[in-house]
Amino acid sequence: MSKLVFIERDGTRREVEAPDGLSVMEVAHLHGIDLEGACEGSLACATCHVIVDAAWFDKLNPASENEEDMLDMAFGVTATSRLGCQIRMCEEFSGLTVTLPPKEED
């Protein structure tokens, strides 16, 4: 089983177990981490937007054109932004660190 590190919006660092094959979004839901995922991973929204630690970003598979299009709608996008539903955990990604972006102001 892999490890995944979430940096929550308040700066809290949470290292959790991440079963291989689950997406970052699914792992967040498994551990009660505040990452929405309104479309349940169907690549139809950007509510599971995470900011990947720069040290890990180039190790991930590149984002698809559809993912890039969805990221265009996300709040607080950075150069290392990805959708959590599109990153599948595997042994190679054990230790992956992602930061939850700030919530959009109402």
Which residue bears the tokens 């150069």?
79
CA separation for the pair 90, 18 (Å, rounded): 8
CATH superfamily of this structure's domain 2-99: Beta-grasp domain (3.10.20.30)
* pLDDT over threshold 80, residue 104: no
Q: Where along the chain do its domains lie?
A: 2-99
In this prediction, residue 105 has a pLDDT band, given cuts at 50, 70 and 90, of low
29 contact partners, CB below 8 Å, separation of at least 6: 35, 37
Check residue 100 and give its pLDDT.
Answer: 97
* pLDDT over threshold 70, residue 106: no
From residue 88, alpha-carbon distances to 10, 31, 75, 76 in Å are 25, 16, 22, 22
* pLDDT over threshold 80, residue 103: yes
Digit-coded pLDDT (tens) for 16-46: 999 999 999 999 999 999 999 999 999 999 9
Look at strands 49-52 and 81-83 and give their pairing.
antiparallel
Pick 102 or 18 by higher pLDDT. Answer: 18
